[in-house]
């Protein structure tokens, strides 16, 4: 597993770095060698530190957990059990994207393994997606007391989502990837239309030549 550690507004010492890497190397037993782990350390204030770990594995699967405490050393022992619980809980659904042999060994951490409850759609709601600034979208989310809000960002005309994060601040999802796919499909569709029109024009032109030849 390739491990990347990023410190934001936090001074990372070699001791903590070594501890994080060694514990993640043990956790890596669940994944193939091409898996990656991105660790973000961030100081929220003088009393609170946040640790976020995102694991990419299985050719596109993503697993993420985040914790906040008053000690970054405690955070690594809080966040890894959350990640391991997710792996073991969804073992069947993940299938061959994780190493089956890793589950023959005891879990690295102790936690309650509650049965998986299948989530179902409880309500369908239609709503308009309005154009506004990020600041206005956050205000709308707070007014509605929702955990997220979908809007069209006036800065780039793309669909964005603001959402509440576990650490207490707000995240922004910029759906550039999906817009790029839409643009690509639109371009291909436009090219097909042009090609069709050129074929029709060419057919009419040839038909006109044939009619003129018969008249002569």
Give the global pTM: 0.64
Please give the structure tokens belonging to residue 119.
Answer: 């989530």
List pLDDT tens digits, range 23-40. 999 999 999 989 999 999
Contact assessment for residue 108 and residue 26, using Cβ atoms and an 8 Å cutoff: yes
Q: How far apart are the first and last CA of the chain?
A: 79
pLDDT band at 21 (very low <50, low <70, confident <90, very high): very high
- How confident is the model at residue 95, as a pLDDT? 83
- Give the number of other Cβ atoms within 10 Å of residue 79's Cβ: 23
Q: Give SS3 for 10.
A: coil
Higher pLDDT, 152 or 168: 152
pLDDT band at 96 (very low <50, low <70, confident <90, very high): confident
Q: What is the mean pLDDT of the chain?
A: 83
User: Span 99-125, mean pLDDT?
Assistant: 76
User: What is the bridge-based pairing of β-strands 49-57 and 36-43?
Assistant: antiparallel
Q: Which residues contact 155 (CB under 8 A, 6 or more apart)?
A: 133, 134
pLDDT band at 90 (very low <50, low <70, confident <90, very high): confident
Percentage of the chain beyond pLDDT 90 is 41
Q: Which residues contact 103 (CB under 8 A, 6 or more apart)?
A: 88, 91
List pLDDT tens digits, range 52-70. 999 999 888 999 999 999 9
Higher pLDDT, 179 or 129: 129
Rounded to whole angstroms, how far apart are CA atoms 115 and 107? 16
Residue 79's closest CA among 45, 31, 37? 37
User: What is the bridge-based pairing of β-strands 36-43 and 2-8?
Assistant: parallel
User: Span 72-84, mean pLDDT?
Assistant: 93
Q: Give SS3 for 52.
A: strand
- How confident is the model at residue 45, as a pLDDT? 86
List pLDDT tens digits, range 193-205. 666 656 666 666 6
- How confident is the model at residue 3, as a pLDDT? 95
Please give the structure tokens belonging to residue 203.
Answer: 């057919």
Per CATH, domain 131-174 is 3.40.50.450:
no
pLDDT band at 83 (very low <50, low <70, confident <90, very high): very high
Fold of domain 2-104: Double Stranded RNA Binding Domain (3.30.160)
Compute, in degrees rounded to 10, the torsion defined by CA atoms 136, 138, 139, 144.
Answer: 130
Residue 29, class by beta-carbon neighbours within 10 Å (0-12 exposed, 13-18 middle, 19+ buried)? middle
- How confident is the model at residue 127, as a pLDDT? 81
Higher pLDDT, 105 or 118: 105
Contact assessment for residue 79 and residue 53, using Cβ atoms and an 8 Å cutoff: yes
Residue 67 host element (H or E): strand 61-69
Residue 192 host element (H or E): helix 176-215
């Amino acid at each position: 597993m390739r491990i990347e550690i990023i410190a934001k507004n936090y001074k990372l010492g070699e001791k903590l770095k070594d501890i994080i890497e060694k514990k993640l190397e043990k956790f890596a037993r669940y994944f193939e060698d091409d898996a990656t782990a991105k660790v973000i350390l961030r100081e929220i204030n003088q009393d609170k530190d946040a640790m976020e770990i995102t694991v990419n594995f299985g050719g596109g699967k993503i697993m993420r957990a985040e914790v906040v405490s008053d000690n970054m050393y405690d955070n690594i022992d809080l966040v890894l059990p959350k990640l391991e619980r997710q792996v073991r809980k969804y073992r069947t659904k993940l299938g061959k994207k994780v190493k089956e042999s890793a589950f023959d060994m005891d879990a690295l951490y102790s936690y309650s393994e509650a049965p998986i409850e299948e989530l179902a759609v409880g309500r369908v709601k239609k709503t308009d997606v309005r154009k506004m600034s990020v600041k206005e979208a956050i205000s709308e989310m707070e007014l509605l007391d929702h955990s997220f809000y979908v809007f069209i960002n006036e800065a780039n005309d793309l669909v964005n989502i603001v959402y509440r994060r576990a650490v207490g601040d707000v995240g922004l999802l910029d759906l550039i990837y999906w817009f790029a796919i839409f643009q690509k499909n639109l371009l291909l569709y436009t090219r097909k239309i042009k090609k069709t029109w050129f074929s029709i024009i060419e057919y009419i032109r040839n038909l006109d030549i044939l009619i003129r030849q018969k008249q002569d």
